[in-house]
Structure formats: structure tokens, C-alpha cells
Structure 1
Amino acid sequence: MSDAEAVAGLRDRLVDVGVELVAGEGAQALTLREIARRAGVSHGAPRRYFPTHLELLSAIARRGFAELGERAAGVIRDGTASPREQVAALGRVYLEFALGNPGMYELMFRHDLLESGHLGLRDSSLPLFGVLVDLVGRARPGADARPVAGALWANLHGIAQLWSWGSLQLATGAEDFVPLLRSALDAHLGPEGAL
């Protein structure tokens, strides 16, 4: 194994351990010391590959964006679905990901923590938002799609957070988030069939 392969292998292992750690214990568990311990390396080893803790956290978050992006691509590839149906499918995937991966989800959207401009997270997160903007633009022709998509995203994020806390179930009596997703779509795209 070459030195470059060894470096790539350890970098990947550190990120793999971080992904496992955030899945099992949440974003607060992602310390350099704990990641190094679980990877079986000295506590200083991660700094050789990730000069700052934020760079390692960003690499872990990029894995989450990659997974969410793959899931999203899987549901919007079908060219026969209407833009609104594709937005609904994307919203469902987003909420399922958020609720199924709470630690990763929390980490991914902490751009303030991860210094996204400096560490490449914009390249990981903005393409998915671009897909939403495109679909919203096609679902609401003539609307300024970027702020509408931003408001819809904020609404989905709020649903995910409040659902994970149990607040929406208590307040609405809903047993799943689908009625809330439909209401969010109606609020931001107009009632279904109203073009």
C-alpha cells in the first residue's frame, strides 16, 4: 500500500467512525479524542489528516449529504411525475431522513458550526436545494422559486424538528407526518390542482 493509499484509508476510517458515532450517540459525541479512540489511533492522529475538528465534522456531514442526495435522486428520477409530485416525494425523503438519522441531520445543517464556506459544505448542500428550487419553479410557474423553496425547506425542517420532539403529534393528533407535508405543500405551492 502506498503512502497516499494509507492516508486515504485512515481519513476514510476516521470519517466512517464519525458517521457511526453520530448515528449512535448524536452530534455532541463527535470529539476528536473519541473518534481517534474508536478508530484505534492516537488522539493526535486525526489532526494529521484533518487539521481542525471542524474539517473532520464537515467530512462526516458530507457523507450525510451524499446519502440524502442519493435518496432524493432515487425519488425524482421518474420523469412522468408532475413537479408537485416530485416536490412531495422529495419532502417525504427529507423528513424520513431527518427522523431516521437525527444526529447526522443535526450535524448537516449546522453550517454555522461547520464553517461551510471554508470547508466545501456548500458544494454538498446547495445542489439539493437547487433541485428543490427547480421543482418549485416548475410547480409554480412565474413565482420567484428561490424564496418559496427556502420557505418550504424551513417548513419541512420545522416539521422534522417538532415531530422528533413529539410536539406535532401532541398538537395535531397526527399519527404520521404525511398530512403535515401535504399542508406545507399547499401553503407554499397552492392547493393541489389549482393552476
Structure 2
Amino acid sequence: MDQRDHQATGLRERLIDVGVELVTSEGTAALGLREIARRAGVSHGAPRRYFPTHHALLSAIARRGFEEFGSRVPAAMAGPDADDPRGQVRALGSAYVGYALEHPGMFELMFRHDLLDGGGRDGPSGARLRDSTLPMFELLVSLVARCGAGDQPRITAAALWANLHGVAQLWSRGSLPLALDGDPAASLDRLVDAAVDAHLPERRP
């Protein structure tokens, strides 16, 4: 890689870094091309040299979120339930909800596919985003199938995912704490357990 290519790669990564900083501190509404360029110290047209569309840049930012979440999964699933698919589903769900509450801005962006290019139409950034998002769902599908959840594990996994996503969003926005106020059994752990129990068959004795 010559110096010009190295500088281009460095600026491309800097634009993504700034986007990550912005979405973490200020949320998705702050992710305008001009603001990212300003914070990166480049002209407002510079991002277009590396990202053909705004969606492509947002996709590259979101991919960082999927990578960070993905890096947490092995440790989360390596506990005492490592050989129990139901326990692993619960561990994955807890990690998912936990990441959502720790990084609300990034979590929102990661699943705004109306803003992102998950199909790769905008080139390599979109294609890489698709490669980052789908393996996590496929992992959930495989675990659900191992739990004996009927002949449609993908549908069951999708419903469970939607349930967990709703728990994360409603908790982070205060709706669930408000609705469950005064319930001594109310906690995120109990809600994750309830979601898993609602979609997976009961354990066999």
C-alpha cells in the first residue's frame, strides 16, 4: 500500500470513528454527513470520496456496533450453560439486551435498515454489513432448533428476537419500568427468562 492509499484508508476509518463517537454520545439524529465531516476536520464533500452514499457510511458505522456486540458473545455463552442450548439462548438474549442498554444510540442505528444498506446495493460497505448482521440470527436459529422448538425454528427465533428487542427498547425508554413499578419480581433478567420461556418448549425432566 503506497502512502496515498494509506492516507485514504486512514481518513475512511477516521470518518467511521467520528460517526461511532457521534452516535454513542448524541444518537442517530447527529449522523449527518456535514457534521461527521466537520468533526473529522475535512471538507463536507470528503466523505463522498470513500462512501458513495450516506447509507454506505451509516452502514460502516453500524458494522462497528455489530462487531463489538459479536465480540462479547463468546464470553457470554461460555459460562456454566455452555453445553445447554436453552441456557445459551438465555445468555445470548441477556448479552443482547445488555448491549442495547449500554449503547442505545448504536443499538438503534444497527437495526435501522431503513437508513442502512443491508443488501449491499451501495457496494462493499453494505455487503459487509449484511455479513455482520446475519450470522448472529443464524446462531439464534441453530440454538432454537437444538431446543426442539418445532419444525419452524427460524420463525420461532425471529419471534424471540422481536420479543427481546422489544424488552430492550421498552426498558431503555422507561415504559417497562413504569408498567412494572412496584412488582418485586420485575427485573431485566426475569424478563429475558420470560421471553425465552414464552418461545421455547419446556425443559424435559
Place the TM-score, normalised by the shorter chain, in its bin: over 0.9
Instruction: Give the letter for the 1:75 counterpart.
Output: A
Residue equivalent to 2:199: 188
From 127, 142, 152, the equivalent of 1:144 is: 152
Instruction: Give the letter for the 1:150 counterpart.
Output: A
Q: CA deviation at 1:2?
A: 1.3
Instruction: Give the letter for the 1:139 counterpart.
Output: C
Number of residue pairs matched by the alignment: 194
Residue equivalent to 1:86: 88
Q: Describe the shift of the 1:80–1:101 C-alpha distance in structure 2 as closer, same or farther (beyond 3 A).
A: closer
Unaligned runs of 5+ in 2: none
What is the DSSP-based 3-state SS (H/G/I as helix, E as strand, rest coil) of the residue aligned with 2:114? helix
Residue equivalent to 2:118: 116
Counterparts of 2:52 and 2:44 in 1: how far apart (Å)?
13
What is the DSSP-based 3-state SS (H/G/I as helix, E as strand, rest coil) of the residue aligned with 2:42? coil
**TM-score normalised over the length of structure 2:** 0.89
From 160, 169, 191, the equivalent of 1:161 is: 169
Structure number with higher helix proportion: 1
What is the DSSP-based 3-state SS (H/G/I as helix, E as strand, rest coil) of the residue aligned with 2:115? helix
Further displaced range: 138-147 or 10-19:
138-147
Question: Is 2:94–2:192's contact at 8 Å kept on the other side of the alignment?
Answer: yes
Instruction: Give the letter for the 2:50 counterpart.
Output: Y
Q: How does 1:1-195 map to 2 (within 5 A)?
A: 2-77=3-78, 80-117=82-119, 118=121, 119-120=126-127, 121-140=129-148, 142-173=150-181, 176-191=187-202, 193-194=203-204
Identity %: 58
What is the DSSP-based 3-state SS (H/G/I as helix, E as strand, rest coil) of the residue aligned with 2:44? coil
Counterparts of 1:81 and 1:41 in 2: how far apart (Å)?
50
Instruction: Give the letter for the 2:83 counterpart.
Output: A
Q: CA deviation at 1:142?
A: 4.2
Tell me the C-alpha RMSD between the 2 structures.
1.6
